[in-house]
Structure 1
Amino acid sequence: MGIHTKRLQQVLAHSWSIQTSTKYTTDNPARGQCGVTALVVHDILGGEILKTPLPEGWHFYNKIEGRRMDFSASQFTEMIDYQDIPSDRTEAFADTNKEQYRSLRKGVFMQMDEAD
C-alpha cells in the first residue's frame, strides 16, 4: 500500500480526534497526537521511531529512508530542537493507549482504502 507523505499528513489530520488523544482540540488537532501518530506511521511506512525531550515531555516522530518526518509538529508554535534520540514502539505506546492507537489506525486505514 503506497502512499505519498503529503497525502498521509492529510489523512492523519482528518483522523485525529478526541478518541485518538485526550489533548485534541479543534483549534489544535495535532495536540497530544505524537506517540499514536508515530506508531501508525511506523505501521504504514516502517523506518524508525525517534524522540526529543520537550518541556511537556517526550515528543515522538519518525525517520523514514534517512529522513526525519514529524507528522504532528503542527501542535507546536515554536521550532523544535530535534535531538533524534532512538526510540521504539514500547516507548511511543507509553504516550498513548490501545484504544487511541486502534482508533487512529482504523481511521487512517479506512481513508486510505477509500482512496484506492
Structure 2
Amino acid sequence: MVTLSRLRAVMRNAWGPDTCDPVDLMDWRPENPARGQCGVTALVVHDLLGGDLILGEVYEHGTRRGCHYWNRLPDGTEVDLTRDQFRPDEVVTAGSVVAQPFGSPRRCRGQYELLRHRVLAQLHDVGESDPHAPAPAGPPVKIASVLLVDPAEAVLLQLRDGDARAEPGQWSLPGGHVEDGEDPEQAARRELAEETRLIPDGELRLFCQLILPDLAGGGSRVEVRVYAGRCGFTSSDSTVVAEGRAASFIPFKDVTTVDLSPTAAAVLSRLRARPPESGDDRTT
C-alpha cells in the first residue's frame, strides 16, 4: 500500500530540473526541489491515489503570478506535496476542482512521464508498485546532442514531432542516436547537419553527460552526451526547418516560455549556472 509519508519522500527524491515546469525552471534549486513541480506531481498522485485535482492561483504582492495544483483524495483529505515551494510573499488562493487530462498532459508531457517513471520505480523497489513491471533490459541507448549558441546568446531548439518515440511535441536540443562505430562528437555534428543544415563554428566541447531512463522501452537506459558550440550569425538571421517540425534560435531569457523537453531543461539549467566554454560537466 502506498502511504502519504512514503509517497512524499519518494516524490521529493524524484524531483529535478528535468521534471520542473519550464516556466519555473530558472527558479528551481536543489534546496527548493518542489519549485515548479505542482502540476506533474498532482497528476502522479492522482494516478496512484485517485480523487480530484484542485487548481488555485498564485499571487505575489497582489499580482497574479501563476497557478498551483494539488489533490483531494477520495476521503476528502486535501494533499499538497509541493506547497513548501512558495516564498512568504507568494499567496495561494482557495482552489476548485478541475478535470484531469485524458492520458498524458498536452504540456509538460515528458516531465509527467519521467516523474511517474521515477516514482513507480522507487515504489517498486520496496514492493509497493506493479509487481509485473518489466525490468530494464538491453544495452544503453546512446544519444549525442548539440547545445548551439549564437552571438546574442540565443539557444538553438528544435520542436520534436508529435509522434516521436521520445519527448514528442516538445522543444529539445538537436541530436539523435550514435550509430555503430561512430564517435559521439561525430554523431552530434551529423545530427545537427541532418536536422537543421547548420554547421558550428570551430570545435564542439563536451558540455555535460546525462543518464536517463529509457521511457520508450528500447534499452536499459539512455546516455546523452551534449556538445556545446557557437555559430557566427544571430537569431534574427535564421529559423530553420529540416527534420522535425521547426528549429529556432530562442533568446536564453525566453527559453522558459516554450514547452521544453526534460532533456533540454536539464541542460539549460546547467547553462544557467555556467557558460558552455567551461567544459565537461559529468554530473548526471
Query: Smaller-chain TM-score range?
Result: 0.7 to 0.9
Q: Deviations over 1:24-77 (max 9, x none)?
A: 321210000000000000000000000111122110000002011001111013
Give, in whole Å, the separation in 1 of the partners of 2:76 and 2:120.
24
Q: How far off its partner does 1:87 sit?
A: 1.2
Summarize the alignment of residues 25-44 of structure 1 with structure 2, pairs less than 5 Å apart.
25-44=29-48
**1:106 aligns to 2:117 (yes or no):** yes
More strand by share: 2
**What's the CA shift for 1:80?**
4.9
Cα root mean square deviation, aligned: 1.7
Counterpart in 1 of 2:70? 61
Q: Greater shift after overlay, 48-57 or 81-90?
A: 81-90
In the superposition, the TM-score normalised over structure 2's length comes to 0.37
Answer yes or no: is 1:74 the counterpart of 2:84.
Answer: yes
Larger radius of gyration: 2
- Alpha-carbon contact 2:12-2:33 (below 8 Å) kept: yes
Identity %: 33
Counterpart residue identity of residue 89, structure 1: Q
Q: Which residue of 1 aligns with 2:227?
A: none
Count of aligned residue pairs for this structure pair = 112
Which residue does the alignment assign to 1:11? Answer: 10
The two structures have a TM-score, normalised by structure 1, of 0.88
Amino acid at match of 2:98: S
Question: Structure 1 85/16 Cα, relative in aligned 2: closer, same or farther at 3 Å?
Answer: same
Secondary structure of the residue aligned to 1:53 is: strand
The aligned amino acid for 1:103 is L
Report if aligned partners of 2:57, 2:95 keep a CA contact under 8 Å in 1. Answer: no
- For the 8 Å contact 2:35–2:82, the answer to whether it is kept is yes
